Chains A and B, each alone.
Chain A
Amino acid sequence: MAVQTLAGTQIQVTDDGYLEDMNQWNEDVAKEIAKEIGIELTDKHFEVINYLREKIKAGEALTIRKVGKSGIVDIKTLYKLFPKGPLKFSSKIAGIPKPTSCV
């Protein structure tokens, strides 16, 4: 566990950079994490991110298949928005725990 300063606030993160507490998240924090990964966030990104946060709050496990069926983006677009890490990077930017699913 470590403390990182993101968007001017001290935030608890795991060793691989996922937020410890999803309530410490805000859009500026998201933008800063995204920048580190090399992603410029658009409205579409935020739609996905907000969807992921809602699902995690509801206690549901996430898979790219579920995101693909959400009506927000298809899987191909999800890969375009978050290249090389459709679930990993989107979860990190959304301030939710590292995904534990294999699909």
Chain B
Amino acid sequence: MENQEKKPLEKVCMICAKGSLEDVYATLVMANGAVMEGIETKVFFTFFGLDGITKKSMNHLHTATTGNPAMRMPGGLPFPTMLGGLPGVESAVSGMMRKQMEELDMPPVDEFLEMITAGGGEIYACKLAIDMFKLKKEDLSDEVSDILTIGQFYEMCDGDRTQIIFT
């Protein structure tokens, strides 16, 4: 007989490199979900993903209304790309997405980060991207515990029941 012993995940390391509403939330939902399951959780934000942990932008993330083939009108009809480019459309769509998430008890980004760290999850920012966007530690959410190089982050991702997820 094969050995059927289960080997549950012990650590999840996530890398978020994109800054749209859905990319950041996908990362936050997965990170929070891991913390709630008792899995050690570390999240590394880099490039445009930094918008998700920058005080000024984190609660005002947007979703792409152009170049997004999965975009639909509220009734399910295709969303014309031309429409997505009109002034105000993108912010209305992003606002609507945020409202629908709020109905499902998904918190704003700042509160979501607090939920993750409250359970022991750790949030990091990428040094290279911080330098590139000319940001400082003070610009970031207080939940960010450190600014690291990717090498330092990988060092934290040791262990044979560890997974790295790139969102």
Q: Separation in Å of the A61 CB from the closest CB of chain B?
A: 8
Interface residues on B, range: 10 to 19
SS class, residues of chain A in contact with chain B: loop
Q: Of A6-14, A19-27, A78-86, which binds chain B?
A: A78-86
Measured between alpha carbons, how far is A65 from B111 in the docked complex, in Å?
A: 9
Cβ of B105 under 8 Å from chain A: yes
18 A–B contacts, CB within 8 A, in A order: A66-B105, A68-B115, A74-B118, A75-B115, A75-B118, A75-B119, A76-B119, A79-B118, A79-B120, A83-B38, A85-B36, A85-B38, A86-B119, A87-B36, A88-B36, A103-B33, A103-B104, A103-B107
- Residues of B whose CB lies within 8 Å of any CB of A are 29, 32-33, 36-38, 104-107, 111, 114-115, 118-120
When A and B form their complex, which 8 residue pairs have the shortest distance between CB atoms, in order from nearest?
A: A84-B38, A76-B118, A75-B118, A63-B105, A79-B119, A65-B105, A102-B33, A75-B115
